[in-house]
Structure formats: structure tokens, C-alpha cells
Amino acid sequence: MAVRMDPNEMWQRSQGVINQAVGRGAELLADRIDHYTTLADDMSSMLRDKGELQAADWVNTLAGGVHDAAEYLRARDGTALWSDAQEFARGRTWLLAGIGFVGGMAAARAVRSANRMPEWEQPEYVESYSQSQPTFGEASLNGNRYDERL
């Protein structure tokens, strides 16, 4: 017995699963952001105690914005987050191109450097040190024989 599913039904089910995963991830991210908000509030009160009022106000303002971002993540589900991202990106193709370019450069750098061995681990470098080297008594830095007599 073969089970046939309508492609639209499959799409809706997959979207539901994706939305659940994004919702859980957004909630975890919001919790982490709130943790940083608490840290920023503590820093602000510490700065106030030390008499740094301007820095304390700036940190407090930053903490308020971060808290608003956490509340935004808690209030939206995956579909709303995606539509908000699309709305933000609409008309800003230069921004998307820039983000794609920087992300591509970072990925290329990570891939390129992940496979490279450090210079001191390369076989030629190790082999050069495995050959006998003159000792301090055999040669000095200027090429003349070192005189061990005082």
C-alpha cells in the first residue's frame, strides 16, 4: 500500500517543524540575551557606584535595547521572524550582497586555514632540525672557531 502525500501538505508540515525549531532556538537565544541584560545592569550599577554616571547611563541604555531584542524574539514565531527579515531586506539588496560577500570571505578563510599545517609542523622544517647542527664550541656566529680559552 503506497502512501501519497500532496506536495502542499508536505510543505505545510515541514514549515510547521521548522517553525517549532526556530521558536525553540529563538527562546533559547532570548534567554541568553536576557542573561547579558542582567550583566549589563550589574555593570551599570557598579559604574554608578564608582561615580561614572555617563558610562552607567550608556550601559543602561544598551541593556534596555538588548532586553527589547529578547522580548521581540519571545513574541514572534518562526514565520513572523522570517517575514520580518524579508521586510527588512526588501530594498536593501546592497546590504544582502555585502553580508553574503563578508560571509563568503569568512567561510573561505576558515576552510583555507583549517587544512594548513603550521610552519613548524611541516616536514621540511622538521627535517632541517633533524640534521646535525654545529654546536656552540664548533662555530661561533661570525663563522670563526670559538676559542674556549679564557
**How many Cβ atoms from other residues are within 10 Å of residue 14's Cβ?**
10
If you search the block for the grid coordinates 501519497, which residue do you land on? Answer: 4
**Alpha carbon distance, N-terminus to C-terminus of the chain:** 100
Q: Based on C-alpha coordinates, what's the Rg of the chain?
A: 30
Domain boundaries, the chain: 7-130
Instruction: Find the length of the chain.
Output: 150
What pLDDT is recorded for position 149? 58
What pLDDT is recorded for position 104? 92
List Cβ neighbours of 96 (8 Å cut-off, separation of 6 or more): 89
What pLDDT is recorded for position 8? 74
Residues of the chain where predicted confidence (pLDDT) is lower than 50: none
What pLDDT is recorded for position 102? 93
CA atoms within 13 A on the CB side of 110: 6
pLDDT > 90: percent of the chain = 6
Joined together, the cell numbers standing for residue 145 give 672557531
List Cβ neighbours of 37 (8 Å cut-off, separation of 6 or more): 63, 66, 67, 70
In terms of DSSP H, where are the helices of the chain? 7-49, 53-75, 78-89, 93-114, 123-130
